[in-house]
Amino acid sequence: MSIRSIRPHDGSLLWEGPAASAGDVASALEKARAAQRDWALAPIEDRIAIVRAYRAAVEADAEGLARLIAEETGKPHWEARTEVSSVMGKVDISIAAHAERTGSRSAPFKADPHGATQALRHKPHGVLAVLGPYNFPAHLPNGHIVPALIAGNAIQFKPSEKTPATGAHMAALWARAGLPDGLLTVLQGGAETGRALAAADTDGLLFTGSAPTGEALARQFADRPGRILALEMGGNNPLVIWDLQAGDIEAAAAIVVQSAFLSAGQRCTCARRLILEDDAHEPLLDAILALMDRLRIDQPFADPQPFMGPVIDNGTADALIARAAALGGKTLRPMLRLHEGLPFLTPGLIDVTGLSTPDDELFGPLLQLVRVKDFPAAMAAANATRFGLSAALVGGDRALYDRFWAESRAGVVNWNRPTNGAASNAPFGGVGRSGNHRPSAWYAADYCAWPVASVEAEHPALTLSQGLR
């Protein structure tokens, strides 16, 4: 069986290669185990040197990698370049986070009169599987791979079957950086390969993707509690606008449009539900619709550059259109195909006030409007989801934001900023269907190594002072 990567913007073939079999997964795991032993014993400075060489390799190939990402995902060239910058930035962030979150320390053991010390060190898990998504095919798996290698692990990496070329290219950059053979193996394939990798005898799995897949992985790992499982899943993210000043309408409209439609809505932090005060929302709504109508939608290398490109493929586009139609409600802007046979979609906005809509992540350029009477109703609407990734408030004062922050059930909570404005030097993750309390970004170091507490003395020194005859 082969894996084929199709350029979303024109339907042409970009890359083709064989899918890994269960036997390939087992063989790669055996090789990784052998390589990981020496890697874990190597001085941390040596591992960091390789990681920094990888950053240099990415920087030297930044334009080539950006073009590949743009071709494979359909995202605008400018946005692919920002993804490559994030890949490079992850190196220094991960080095600093490893030192802070999983460093070593020692101190006198006060309970011992003989001069023993207590020490804290961290060990790598061993061999970790990484399952990557298609929307950020370099940056998001890179956010697992870099800290895991720094910690001393080996990696079995399955890119999304929709973006295999980027995964293969990343592996080539690691090889160029001098990463020893066996420490990073790319296993191309679809769901069957993913299941085989999850079932393999690895020491854990680091996942970024949809909630249904993450939940299936959690069930698969239920009888193996000793294996680490880090899940970064999607969101049904609310954006609440309240007590907005007249002079802030244009800025608020820009925040809404960026929150909902950046990356053609294919970010897990994109706003899916816009919550507005009824009878006070018309000027803002007019500004949002006017800005939506101005968005350029085009192929990745168009000049001038577009705001958004296509969604990942035609199947995704068809499913989004069908799900939008099933919502009902009042269509303020329809989500339409721009070109027959290609997955370019216009941004859509549907007023679903008063309707019972599915609590799902609609992973594309579609925003649902909910109008409410008061702020308690706004908070109830914001939290009416099993997801808990991102939430944002636009407007109000500090007291209102403090209330919003306290009552929001999300791992990323912003004020007067888009829902998709997360920082790489902070923890990133959610609760409920959005994650399992294993946040990534700055806290990725936490799930890439495990703490070992020790009490240590140069010589044995102990007497039994009680209970003797």
- List residues with catalytic annotation: 232, 268
Gap between the Cα atoms of 381 and 326, Å rounded = 20
Looking at residue 246, the DSSP 8-state letter turns out to be G
Residue 41 φ/ψ region, left for φ over 0, alpha for ψ in the -120 to 50 degree band, beta for the rest = alpha
* Amino acid at site 453: A
CA-based torsion, 269, 272, 278, 283: positive or negative: positive
CB atoms within 10 A of CB 350: 22
Gap between the Cα atoms of 273 and 204, Å rounded = 34
Looking at residue 21, the DSSP 8-state letter turns out to be P
Place of tokens 């390589």: 35
CB 178 within 8 A of CB 53: yes
How deeply is 124 buried, as exposed, middle or buried, from its count of CB atoms within 10 A (0-12, 13-18, 19+)? buried
Place of tokens 């939940």: 215
Give the largest Cα separation in the chain, rounded: 92
CB 187 within 8 A of CB 156: yes
Place of tokens 């082969």: 2
Q: Measured between alpha carbons, how far is residue 114 from residues 90, 460, 463 in Å?
A: 44, 9, 11
